[in-house]
Amino acid sequence: MSENLFRLSPTNFSPVPWLAMEATDVDPLTWRIKLRSGVKFHNGAVMDAEAVKASLERTIRLSEASAEALGLDSIAVNDEQTITVTTMEPRPTLPGLLAGPAVAITDAAAADAAGEGNFLQAGALTGPYIPTEYIQKERLSSVANDDYWGGAPPLAGIEHLAIPDINSRELALQAGDIDVAVNISPEGAQTIDAHPELASRTAGIGTAAVIWWVNFKRPALSDPLVRQAVSLAIDRESIAGLIAPAGSGSFAELLLPDALASCPGVSAPGYEPAQARDLLAQAGYVDTDNDGFVDKDGEPLEIVIGGYPERFQLPIMAEAAQAMLADVGIKAKVLITEWSVVKEPAWDLFGWYNNVVEAGDPIQNIGKFVGVSADASGSGANNYGHFHSAELEGIISSAAEVADTQQRQEIACRALDVVASETALLPVAHAYLIYGVNERVTDFEPHPANLYFFDHRIGLRS
């Protein structure tokens, strides 16, 4: 329903023009962007340079994270279809940053006039379907945009239903109540593939990192020896087999998939429980009372493993890790709760499932997850473990004016080497969404970035 100036390529995640036609870097601080003509908002207003300028200004006014990431200094209108964007610091990956969902182009005047809570009435988007009704945690209804710049879509509308329980989603698909089920389990995919009228689909590249944040503000994992021991006690290959379909991504890749940054010398550690026990002993943790769990100065080593239920992978891997940690003498408690708890100091490890190809740039994503400064590479907006490394900051900052893709990948690998050596987080696997699709659905192509689910081509066989 919403669209951006650029989209990410499904092969290498580089930004490709969408509502924009091209972007030219005039100098390190200046980009000239040519806009697509013939685009209208759902309310009939024309998307021209003035409208795009107002949209970007509204985005940075309403979103501090977007303002930091984009770093815009000014936006000038050259003509009806051209804007010039000036940044406060070099942004060599600006087109990729403009591909993020938070920077969708909207009719800013209409959205502001509608007021908070009335966005649907504003008709402020440009996509092939027009939202008509939204009931939180229930459904989002839409009708076809017959005036869409890419051509009228073949469907009269799309009904998006919120079905949080994964088993209920799979059963709804099998019963014919829905045509597409988003995020089904590997086991569910096997059942669906056995159905004569259904099939599972994937994008073929694992771009969602399934990780555990390490809470550096809690004492349990403040000792690097203990962090290393915990990491070595986790059998990632075994867990990956439980939560992700075969071939969805190597459990050895660290945070970023090879498709975005191939770093042969950097990987997650293997499963070495004996070495984990040795490291715990070096840290002063031994089993003094023969209860099977280690302690130090009379205090047992206990950690809390958090996660949220909306991603079926997280409870599964938390319970698996609980048993693996017990095997090396670490007592663990599983806490499956609201995802917002990640922002609270109630956990030592917290399971997280997140897209790590945002902006199509490896440095941007490393900065987002383990960076701490608002520079050209990321603001640390999702650094929920509160990791800090001056060395990492220096490496990330060195990419500020680097535009060459290969050089940025090399810098990313240096940054990931620091992440690995400090055990800044615990990577588990890379997964891709599995979709269950009724065979009557046509032209449905999953995108590896888990975006662009439904475009103007998707249809139904009669």
Neighbours of 139 (CB within 10 A): 13
Q: How far apart are CA 303 and CA 427, in angstroms?
A: 17
Neighbours of 162 (CB within 10 A): 11
Domain locations along the chain: 6-114, 128-199+438-460, 208-431
- Secondary structure string (H, E, C) spanning 157-226: EEEEECCCCHHHHHHHHHCCCCCEEECCCHHHHHHHHCCCCEEEECCCCCCEEEEEEECCCCHHHCCHHH
Q: How far apart are CA 454 and CA 131, in angstroms?
A: 13
Q: Tell me the three state secondary structure of residue 139.
A: strand
> What is the Cα gyration radius of the chain?
24
- Topology at the third CATH level for domain 208-431: Dipeptide-binding Protein; domain 3 (3.10.105)
Q: How far apart are CA 300 and CA 288, in angstroms?
A: 10
Q: How far apart are CA 4 and CA 125, in angstroms?
A: 10
Q: Which CATH architecture has domain 128-199+438-460?
A: 3-Layer(aba) Sandwich (3.40)
In tens digits, what is the pLDDT along the chain, a chain of 462 residues?
Answer: 899 999 999 888 889 999 999 999 999 999 999 999 999 999 999 999 999 999 999 999 999 888 988 999 999 999 999 999 999 999 999 999 999 888 999 999 999 999 877 888 889 999 999 999 999 889 999 999 999 999 999 999 999 999 988 899 999 999 999 999 998 888 899 999 999 999 999 877 777 788 899 999 999 999 999 999 999 999 988 888 777 655 444 444 566 776 677 787 788 888 999 999 999 999 999 999 999 999 999 999 999 999 999 888 899 999 999 999 999 999 999 999 998 898 888 999 999 888 777 778 888 888 888 876 433 334 467 888 999 899 999 999 899 889 888 899 899 999 999 999 999 999 887 777 889 999 999 999 888 887 877 889 999 997
Q: Are strands 6-8 and 208-214 parallel, antiparallel or unpaired?
A: unpaired
pLDDT of residue 380: 67
pLDDT tens-digit readout, 154-213 = 999 999 999 988 899 999 999 999 999 998 888 899 999 999 999 999 877 777 788 899
Q: Which CATH architecture has domain 6-114?
A: 3-Layer(aba) Sandwich (3.40)
Dihedral angle sign, alpha carbons of residues 162, 165, 171, 174:
positive
Say whether 128-199+438-460 and 6-114 share the same fold.
yes
pLDDT of residue 301: 97
Q: How far apart are CA 20 and CA 152, in angstroms?
A: 20
Q: Distance between alpha carbon 122 and the CA centroid of its chain, in Å?
A: 28
